[in-house]
Amino acid sequence: MIHPIPSGTRDVLPDELRELRAITDGMRAVFDARSYGEVATPALEYEDVLTRGDQAAADPAYRLFDEHGNVLVLRSDMTIPIARVVATRYPSAPVPLRFYYLQHAYRAVHQHRAQPREILQVGIELVGAPGPEGTAEAVTVLCAALDAAGLRSYRVGLGDASLFSRALERAGVEDGARDTILHELATRDLVGLERELARAGSPDGLLELATTRGGIDTLDGVPEAEPLRALYDGLPEDVRARVIFDLGLVRTLGYYTGAVFEVYDAAFGAPIGGGGRYDDLLGRFGRELPACGWALDVERVHAARLEEGVV
Amino acid sequence: MRIAVPRGALFRETLDRLDGLGVDTAEVRANDRKLLFEDAGIVTMRPSDVATYVEAGAADLGITGKDVLAEQSERGVYELLDLGFGGCTMVFATVEGEDSAGEALRRLGMMRIATKYPRIAARYFERTGRQVEIVEVKGSVELAPLTGMVHGIVDLTATGTTLRENGLVVREEIMESTARLIANPVSYRLKAAEIDGVLERLRAR
């Protein structure tokens, strides 16, 4: 008998699970050694609680009603639930707090795009440690986790969610035009970006700024990049070697406030993970703390590792 | 690096540009059926598939029309450069003579529109406040209003000849389209120097 399961979901059988386990066990050892404690939260949350964090970022794709008519949603990431946990369960605990998780998140899919509805994520949240030191710790743990997973050729793209809007402000571009320009950048349309910058009087060097990718020397002469330089100074040598600065990098989630990062591996066509600073999110749940975190898609890490041929 | 090249209207000009980059395209030009040219680093496909291959990382760079990118706007690819060639216009057209689509809107409260670009068409009529039912077709769109199946079409036209020959007239222009260079987001970072080199030479032309 054949009984179907929804598109974008799958059964994981022992051969694969053994390999996934080897990856996550290696990462767990890294987190344990650095005093990160594992947390689990319910897959189902109240919609009005989750969207309190960030309406767009929470973006729940699956909703249902409980027996009292409350709207429940399947979480779409782990950062917002952990922000809720910190405010609720650690209202006055000394900081920094260090958490890690290995949990599923749920997303909507486009039809026929081979996208998963259920994503196994591993990640950390470092709460109460401001940048740049806190960010440097998070990026260092990220690289240690990827090393433990056996990836060899990964790189970490580093950018800053507020960098380009600050550069626009310095160039004297008005508010309204700024939003249009940032939209072109967020939708990765550099033709549109050039057009909109031209409409705003082609401020000097901004198109070049948005397309700058490279080493530490690419930050020279960019005052907005000073926080990134401070972050770089706090990274150990082996992590620095993994870094690609990307001054046009914008993560799509709305809650990022400062440094953002993405993980690339030549063996996989899309980023295998990412994260950044979200210094305002905790405050929306009632405990104002700077925070930083990242998540990796375990199945993509596994796919990249297979492709690299390291199994 | 591997480049996705569109067969069809953009094919020749794309290969000319690649020649300008020092890519040897002789084998591609000589061979209509082969799809993968390992030595030249070229894969050939329908223009509407280019964004699919580039998004997946099966090609680092690709060349395709803005019409394809607008229709598949949720694809995770970087649009790097307007190459300027392959210019054409997305239009709303109906059978010549009396405005049958406007008539349908008045008397039926909606128009039926045939297109190969359902998302562009839906967005356009929504933006301009008209109710439409989109009928997606795969082949010659011009046939749809001639058989009475729909009241109008949304399609791409370069010279307008095919529309004219089938007795259709352009009622509204929706968007201009030209060939664009696109990149996979991972290649865009990991092969930044090579991609910027290509960009610089294409811009200098």
Could you tell me which CATH number the domain at A14-161+212-308 has?
3.30.930.10
Strand partners, B95: B168
Task: Please state, for a pLDDT cut of 90, what percent of chain B lies above it.
Answer: 93
**Chain A residues whose beta carbon lies within 8 Å of the beta carbon of residue B77:** 188
Instruction: Express each pLDDT in B110-135 by its tens digit.
Output: 999 999 999 999 999 999 999 999 99
Is it true that B3-86+178-204 and B88-176 share their CATH fold? yes
Q: Is the pLDDT of residue A56 over 80?
A: no
Interchain pair B189, A190: CB under 8 A: no
Q: What's the one-letter identity of residue B113?
A: I
Q: What pLDDT score does A277 carry?
A: 96
Interface residues of chain A, partner chain B, Cβ below 8 Å = 110, 155, 157, 187-192, 211, 213-214, 244, 246, 262, 264-266, 268-271
If 0-12 CB within 10 Å is exposed, 13-18 middle and 19+ buried, where does residue A54 land?
A: buried
Nearest chain B residue to A248 by CA distance is B189
Task: Please state, for a pLDDT cut of 70, what percent of chain A lies above it.
Answer: 97
Query: Which one, of A44, A40, A43, lies nearest residue A67 by Cα?
Result: A44
**Chain A residues whose beta carbon lies within 8 Å of the beta carbon of residue B189:** 155, 157, 213, 244, 246, 262, 264
Query: Which one, of B52, B36, B142, B133, lies nearest residue B93 by Cα?
Result: B142
Q: How far is A288 from chain B (nearest CA, A)?
A: 34
Query: Which one, of B37, B46, B31, B27, lies nearest residue B2 by Cα?
Result: B37
Averaged pLDDT for residues A182-187: 91
Q: Which residues of chain B register pLDDT less than 50? A: none
Interchain pair B186, A264: CB under 8 A: yes
Q: Is the pLDDT of residue A295 over 80?
A: yes
Domain boundaries, chain A: 14-161+212-308, 163-206
User: β-pairing, A273-277 with A213-214?
Assistant: unpaired
Q: What pLDDT score does A253 carry?
A: 60
Q: What pLDDT score does A311 carry?
A: 47
ipTM: 0.92
Q: How far is B175 from chain A (nearest CA, A)?
A: 14
The answer as to CATH 3.40.190.10 being correct for domain B88-176 is yes
Give, in words, the CATH class of B3-86+178-204: alpha beta
**Chain B residues whose beta carbon lies within 8 Å of the beta carbon of residue A209:** none
Domain boundaries, chain B: 3-86+178-204, 88-176
Q: How far is B185 from chain A (nearest CA, A)?
A: 7
Lowest-pLDDT range of A12-16, A183-187, A288-292: A183-187
Which residue of B73, B80, B189 is in closest CB contact with A244?
A: B189
Q: Is the pLDDT of residue A204 over 90?
A: no
Instruction: Express each pLDDT in A90-132 by its tens digit.
Output: 999 999 999 999 999 999 998 888 899 999 999 999 999 998 9
